């Protein structure tokens, strides 16, 4: 085992311990939509949609953590998004922030609020935000995308089931 592998293992162990500590101190109070944006490209006609011609691309990232020390409430902010692109453009669009490839897009920012039994360390806050918050936000995000797609008269956009949690950066 290399020194790097030992170091990575030690970091993972510290993260797991911090996460366990946070989980033991927090209980969820609610998940709230605090910002959103949705749009359809002028060139895209929902009535001409054929599912085989399109694919969806998504993202999720941590934004910030807030604490109200007087009542021990923690707020973890997460941004999520999903866009539909033509399959022919999928490789070019992946990782691109440009709207050039986007046929339809939904973005949202959620605030997950937790009550704490005691103040969390910085490491516990970061580990919880990186590893757990998205699991609590995901059902709200899926429902939001389905509702927005329906209201936009757009084709069904499916948010996939969250199987393996991506580490939020």
pLDDT tens digit sequence for 130-161: 989 999 999 999 999 988 888 887 766 778 77
Q: H-type helices in 26-132, by residue range? A: 90-93, 122-131
Maximum distance among all Cα pairs of the chain, rounded to whole angstroms: 57
Give the Cα-Cα-Cα angle 19, 20, 25 (nearest 5 degrees). 95
Sequence-distant (≥ 6) Cβ neighbours of residue 23 within 8 angstroms: 128, 132
Is 158 a member of any domain? no
Sequence-distant (≥ 6) Cβ neighbours of residue 45 within 8 angstroms: none
120 phi and psi angles, rounded to 5 deg? -85, 150
Is 89 a member of any domain? yes
Q: How confident is the model at residue 33 (pLDDT cuts 50, 70, 90)?
A: very high
> Whats the size of the chain, residue-wise?
169
- Percent of the chain past pLDDT 90, that is, above it, reads 39
Is 58 a member of any domain? yes
Domain enclosing residue 132, as ranges = 3-151
Q: pTM here?
A: 0.82
Q: Is the pLDDT of residue 166 over 80?
A: no
Is 62 a member of any domain? yes
Structural domain total, the chain: 1
CATH of the domain at 71: 3.10.420.10
Is 75 a member of any domain? yes
Is 105 a member of any domain? yes
Is 51 a member of any domain? yes
């Amino acid at each position: 085992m290399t020194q790097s592998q030992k170091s990575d293992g030690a970091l993972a162990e510290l993260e797991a311990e911090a996460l366990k500590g946070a989980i033991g101190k927090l209980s969820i109070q609610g998940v709230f939509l605090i910002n959103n944006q949705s749009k359809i490209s002028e060139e895209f006609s929902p009535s001409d949609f054929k599912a085989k011609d399109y694919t969806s691309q998504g993202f999720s990232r941590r934004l910030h953590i807030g604490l109200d020390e007087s009542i021990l409430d923690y707020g973890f902010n997460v941004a999520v998004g999903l866009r539909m692109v033509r399959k022919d453009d999928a490789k070019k669009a992946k990782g691109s922030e440009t709207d050039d490839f986007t046929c339809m897009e939904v973005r949202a920012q959620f605030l997950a609020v937790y009550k704490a039994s005691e103040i969390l360390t910085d490491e516990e806050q970061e580990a919880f935000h990186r590893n757990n918050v998205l699991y609590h936000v995901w059902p709200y995000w899926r429902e939001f995308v389905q509702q927005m797609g329906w209201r936009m008269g757009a084709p069904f956009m499916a948010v996939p089931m969250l199987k393996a949690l991506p580490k939020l950066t």
